[in-house]
A and B are shown apart, each in its own frame.
Chain A
């Protein structure tokens, strides 16, 4: 790695810029950071315990709070459903747009695309389908540099797969580079971030610099290894890059549609996968709240100026956005592409295996709460970021992590607490009897959001394989009744688990989601057009 800090933006030169956890700091900074690590978990626990205590000692207050909360949930559902439906329409529209024609007016021959594909021990078929989709894009593939980023700790098998892929696809792209991230580098958390950072430096020194490719003429797309791109992805990316207000100070976020293996995944996995997709679709319509997630694109220049992805933490996909925002003193955007990339739903060969994998994947995702302490810590340090922006982001982040964990539990479990825990005095009241009726009715109305989800999800599944019955369409429509359970089991509980670990200083390592797929779709996966 390049140890010089000259290329970094001024704020990124700070020793604590890529801090991963409180233990990496000393003195007052360490205490502050630790406090910020404790805050989300403590606040969530206080809320949940507070609802229980209020139900016991102040059941009337708790009942009114729950009614207000159910109403808030109903309106929030309606508000988000509106965003979802709009983005669905926009994504369908974007799928129909002839992007090649759209970008004809731009001169973009000088732009190079670096595609970083970090992998560990995923099956060869998964990697092959990803590369097949890249080979099928409607774009000049000679300007595409594929970086297949292997892990040394994955051993010879990974090297063999990488070599095989290079043999099969190397000739179709401008460059096909295999990098190997060494095992056990001191200070690193083994995972995607450290591998990707290693690969980025490798491509800089081995491809960009030797060929004189300018960093500001290079767009990096970091894709999870199961990412299947659609033919117009790079045309769409170029259009957004060329029309962006500050293209070198922007990240470009496609919609990750977890539908590659949707026909083979169990209902639980489908609901969770599509819920994640829907959340990203909603975020696409409110970019000021977005951080990068999973597969996305960004200029090499921007990455180089912050020292690539952090190597010492788990949620590198969102952390890179916060690195960029802070290093650029708040002058950095995420631009939603409203264009899909297909990825795998989390499905294991057995249902129990699927449940365990989804839980662990979501625990990893929700461990993104580690960004909260990072953001607030650096907000206290970077005085160039407008205070208004800091307050807004801090509130959005706090609300986001808090609601992720507490809302489902409060609605579906604690909502009934005053009825079971309340005093005898409360139990005799009309309020006590009306509470469950009112909450039930409000939640029932909120179920309309699930109907919207059901309709949209059916339009986003790949064509039915022959070995799957038509009956499964009905199951796929009805599977959304599982949402209350999945919200608690795969969102709130892993979220609380993550926040608690961070709160207690039991930091998490990276966990690679096992990929399992029976049928390999390529670029025809999205049925939305």
Chain B
């Protein structure tokens, strides 16, 4: 009995930050590589190869997920938000982005897109998180510069201002 040759590539349609992208992708293409290399949204970063670091965090249908842990084909039909979509289009930063800057919650800025996506998902669910809730929400995001102190402060203070 012959085994059918599996599909090597697939057509997908994904809405990212409000724009629709129709692409033919390798079946094994990671979603994060699709976002970075195929549609050139390089704000989403890669910091590990095991799903630990969270630099690639995006929102998939409103849920914060690590885009290195999904294949691009799994996102077919989904609505994705990346860090590039966080700021309103008038050029002003969102309150969360402003708070990160004001509290020095970033140094090298490499983890920042993932941190912002995890934090914004938290704030959407829980507009006034406690320090403990903020820490729990970003426990899947590694930062090697800040020791998290100012990141936690930045998130909590946005809630206080809500």
To the question of whether A and B form a pair in one complex, the answer is no
Q: Which residues of A contact B (CB under 8 A)?
A: none
